[in-house]
Amino acid sequence: MGTALAWVNATVAFGLELAALAVLGWAGWQLGGPVAVRVVLAVALPVAAAVLWSSFAAPRAAHPSAAGRLAVQALVFGAAAVLLAWGASPRWGVLFAVVVVANLVAAAVLPSVGSPTA
């Protein structure tokens, strides 16, 4: 049962990561300015987040460390929650943040996906 929940939680985590990238792109467009600036921000924000994530927070990160993972998760998910609250609704931002925290807590207590004990 724990392994199944861990897989479900890992799937939710991946969905949250994709949602954060989508929110960053959407917010980059919403920040305003000329169309060229909007396009640059809509592309640059999620790309920067993806580069940071792959460098420090991904399962096969180039520079793995617990502190780096936590910092990047806080930065990417926090920015997405704040931008969602700013651009859409404070309720959406809070809901996103609550789901992220619940997912991270579940990841800490559930067995690791793909580990020999899972």
Residue-wise pLDDT for 3-44, tens only, equals 899 999 999 999 999 999 999 999 999 987 899 999 999 999
- Tell me how far apart the alpha carbons of residues 98 and 61 are, in angstroms, rounded to a whole number: 25
Q: Is 34 among the domain residues?
A: yes
Q: Which helix (H) or strand (E) holds 36?
A: helix 35-52
- Tell me how far apart the alpha carbons of residues 96 and 81 are, in angstroms, rounded to a whole number: 6
Residue 66's domain comprises 2-109
Residues shown for the chain: 118
Q: Tell me how many domains the chain contains.
A: 1
List pLDDT tens digits, range 59-110: 899 999 999 999 999 999 999 999 999 999 999 999 999 999 999 999 999 9
Considering the entire predicted model, what is its pTM?
A: 0.89
* Phi, psi (rounded to 5 degrees) for 42: -65, -25
Q: Is 114 among the domain residues?
A: no
